[in-house]
Amino acid sequence: MKPDRRTFLAASGAALGFRAAASTGSAQASQEDAPQNRGAAPRPNRIAVSTYSFWQFRNKDLRGIETCIDLAAEMGFDGVEILHRQMEREDNDYLQRLKRRAFLLGLDLCGFSTHQTFLSPDRQVRQKNIDHTIRCIELAYALGIPTIRVNTGTWGTSRNFNELMKNKGIEPPLKGHTDEEAFPWVIDSLTACLRAAERCGVTMGLENHWGLGRTAQGVLRVVDGVKSQWLQVTLDTGNFLENMYAQIEMLAPRAVLVQAKTYHGGGTWYTLDIDYNRIATLLRKHRYQGYISLEFEGNENPRTGIPRSLTTLRRAFG
């Protein structure tokens, strides 16, 4: 039956209203950070393992990324996070072989952990680190990895990393400079990486990892300063040495990857008693549905300490 004019106009108005609402919603969503749009139904988090967990900068026989991927599959992980510094090659043939190997073993390559520092008054030094970060974004894209870990960096005034860790990540700025002065350096540098991140579809996650990112407040100051969905947070459970759970909760709404530390056999620099049931509850509260990536920092043999850690994380997050 042919509709009368009143019925037609009512239906047309409803359709136009729906289209306008959908358009507005789409525009708003494009401006909001992706983690704010969490799905409604909670589900178990998938568990990955960082290749760093095997290598730890000291186990030469476990440095090969291929070996780490094979062991991750054998142990029952869902994904692998690659430590960039652990890679011995960067040519495209190697990258595609890694991607294929993980795929055939049923593993996601879910994260790429990179290093950079923007805490330098020298503009050329900062540009070198911007170029490096863009290169890492492109490597992640070639590997099919959707997020990379980035850092603010450190001042480099500690004698070595062991001293930095002994001082809980606190170090004095370079003479004549301040932390306050350095925040714009970091914000501007990461902003310069946004175009590459958007082009490649790779989200940068600023980690609570010393420097200006030693506290949740510092991390959020940088992320809020950049104001882009392409810079969010990589949340490390083992890098808050004071008010751990309160600071974790501050970052949870912006997290795109969670790195979970364990210390079987005692930690290399310190050992934290982390309640993963509590953290799992906290992350569910903020509807975090992404990967939990194990960073094993214990002195136990990784071939036994890592499976034990997986059991802990499965119980908490499964």
Provide the 8-state DSSP code for 267: B
Q: Which of 314, 303, 318, 316 is nearest to 75 (CA)?
A: 303
d(CA 66, CA 72): 10
Amino acid at 45: N
- Report pLDDT for 160: 84
E runs forming strands in 114-175? 147-150
d(CA 116, CA 258): 19
d(CA 233, CA 221): 11
Query: Over the stretch 213-244, which tens digit does the pLDDT of each residue have?
Result: 999 999 999 999 999 999 999 999 999 999 99
Angle 133-229-207 (CA atoms, 0-180°, nearest 5)? 50
- Report pLDDT for 268: 84
Q: In this structure, how many other beta carbons lie within 10 angstroms of the beta carbon of residue 222?
A: 23
d(CA 269, CA 144): 33
**Which of 215-218's residues contact partners 24+ apart within 8 Å by CB, and which partners?**
215/240, 215/247, 216/240, 216/247, 216/248, 216/250, 216/251, 217/250, 218/152
d(CA 53, CA 68): 9
Domains of the chain: 41-317 (3.20.20.150)
Query: Over the stretch 33-48, which tens digit does the pLDDT of each residue have?
Result: 445 555 555 789 999 9
d(CA 165, CA 177): 22
Query: Over the stretch 102-127, which tens digit does the pLDDT of each residue have?
Result: 999 999 999 999 999 999 999 999 99
d(CA 309, CA 298): 10
Query: Over the stretch 165-181, which tens digit does the pLDDT of each residue have?
Result: 777 788 999 999 999 99
Q: Which stretches of the chain score pLDDT less than 70?
A: 1-41
Crossing angle of helices 123-143 and 92-104, in 10° steps, is 50
Residue 123 CA to its chain's centroid (Å) = 26
- Report pLDDT for 41: 56
Per the CB < 8 A criterion, the answer to whether 248 and 280 are in contact is no
